[in-house]
A = this chain, B = another copy of it.
């Protein structure tokens, strides 16, 4: 791990863990793993007149360049154009190339999110209406592949998180336990289940999922974008969205995680499952002090007549069981004392357009290099070790 930016980054800890990075699944994930009778209708990459696309049971989704453009610049980096696998950085889909890119960036560990499954498996919800057997096989094939194949390349450095068969929360609870045994260290959930027409977190149907995660000692993890409406999960090949609406929507995306946390708190989830850890991914942290105070205000004013199942103010549960990750968030880091140093984790968002790669250490030094060493040690790595129960990779040991 001899990153090119190392010399310029004195003051940062040796161990840097990024808790939010993305796989672009290689084309053969499902074709190589689904049973013969399902293989033809499972996800596979096909040629179109506008680049390659994933086809799932006859429906197509383009492969958007922005999901793997950390190595591009300017207009090209943030383009919503479709691309071909041959055009994107190999580290997006190849584990060995990924490790080399992490070394270049000086990042020891990445916690991994999916791409095609739509965070938490939302992509397979519609498929499950037509063919639940195929949909379940797709979910399991992904979880198998990520833990036993891709991350096995470097098990202390590439950390898998599982997706779920969300259309059946009992099956989902079983899948959490199965995935944990395979080595998965996080359970991806939609932040606002109603956006996917799923029961709210206050519904006891979720309890099995929460219990399985709590028993396995792994967090539930809500990534921004995982709560988009079901309709918008389908990327229209010809969409030309209004730029003002698109920029506004992008700016607001992280705040959906505030709703996710509010929903979990008022549903009493942290009270019913006091050892369940909950992670907000890529939403930043600057909203935390405001949210914490606002939730307490609502709790204090309305609990007399609304009778939600909480027995303490939401801020107490946030401070005990909730964590949030940021990429760069100067306002949030200025408020880190109000948030709590042990609540905050960092991510590079590799290989997305928003990523700090390959300049993570340089950017972190510029933005936060003057902060106390104990803050940086916790926020840039130590907290993630505890939340996900990780082993320090040999390469990052002093």
Contact = CB atoms under 8 A, between A and B. Distances in A.
Q: A74, A284, A293, A299 — which one has the most chain B CB atoms within 10 A of its CB?
A: A293
Q: A247, A284, A328 — which one has the most chain B CB atoms within 10 A of its CB?
A: A247
Given A289-B334, A293-B329, A331-B290, A305 B78 contact: yes
Complex copy number for this chain: 2
A259 B247 CA distance: 10
A306 B247 contact: yes
A78 B302 contact: yes
A154 interface: no
Interface string A297-324: 1110110111110000000000000000
Contact of A331 (B244, B302, B335): B335
A255 interface: yes
A78 B287 CA distance: 26
Given A293-B286, A294-B254, A200 B245 contact: yes
A294 B284 contact: yes
Interface stretch (A36-44, A50-58, A84-92, A262-270): A262-270
A331 to B, nearest CB: 3
A331 B250 CA distance: 25
Contact of A293 (B200, B252, B297, B330): B330
A294 B249 CA distance: 12
A153 to B, nearest CB: 31
A372 interface: no
A292 B286 CA distance: 10
A262 B267 contact: no
Nearest to A331: B289
Nearest to A243: B306
B244 A267 contact: yes
A242 interface: yes
A139 B298 CA distance: 33
A325 to B, nearest CB: 14
Q: A244, A287, A295, A302 — which one has the most chain B CB atoms within 10 A of its CB?
A: A244
Contacts of A297: 328
A236 interface: no
A270 to B, nearest CB: 13
A251 B308 contact: no
A17 interface: no
Contacts of A293: 286, 329-331
Interface residues of A, number: 55
A305 B243 CA distance: 9
A75 interface: yes
Nearest to A192: B248
Contact of A242 (B202, B242, B255, B302): B202
A229 to B, nearest CB: 14
A364 to B, nearest CB: 16
Contact of A338 (B200, B254, B307, B331): B331
Interface string A334-373: 1100100000000000000110000000000000000000
Nearest to A73: B304
A79 interface: yes
A332 B290 contact: yes
A200 B294 contact: no
A283 to B, nearest CB: 10
Contact of A298 (B202, B247, B286): B247
A258 interface: yes
Nearest to A263: B248
A331 B315 CA distance: 13
Interface in A374-390: none
6 contacts: A77-B301, A78-B301, A248-B266, A287-B290, A293-B330, A335-B335
